[in-house]
Amino acid sequence: MLTEQDKLVLKDIISECIQETLKEFLEIEFMKLRASLLPYISKKEQEEIESLYGAPVEEIDETEKVEIEL
């Protein structure tokens, strides 16, 4: 038989698992949504863009990671 304290600990563990699973699910679904909203660009269009503006830059100047708690 579980004590009240054990029940509270179990409830917290389950709650954390659900929150983490939901967070991961939403991240994946938002990535899919963003990808689906990007317009398709043919090779010819990409070549025209690169001839006008140059090729994309591969180097990253600075990155910042921000944690958002739900």
Rounded Cα–Cα distance for residues 20 and 31 (Å): 17
Total count of domains within the chain: 1
Phi, psi of 33 (to 5 degrees): -65, -45
Running DSSP on this structure, what letter comes out for residue 36? H
The residue range of the domain holding 30 is 4-52
Question: What average pLDDT does this structure show over 6-32?
Answer: 95
Q: How confident is the model at residue 52, as a pLDDT?
A: 93
Q: What is the mean pLDDT of the chain?
A: 89
* pLDDT per residue as tens digits for the range 28-53: 999 999 988 988 889 999 999 999 99
pTM: 0.52
In a domain, 67, yes or no: no
In a domain, 13, yes or no: yes
Query: Does residue 13 surpass a pLDDT of 80?
Result: yes
Q: Which two tokens stand for residue 33?
A: 């949504």
In a domain, 38, yes or no: yes
- 19 Cβ neighbours under 8 A, 6+ residues apart: 70
Q: How confident is the model at residue 70, as a pLDDT?
A: 66
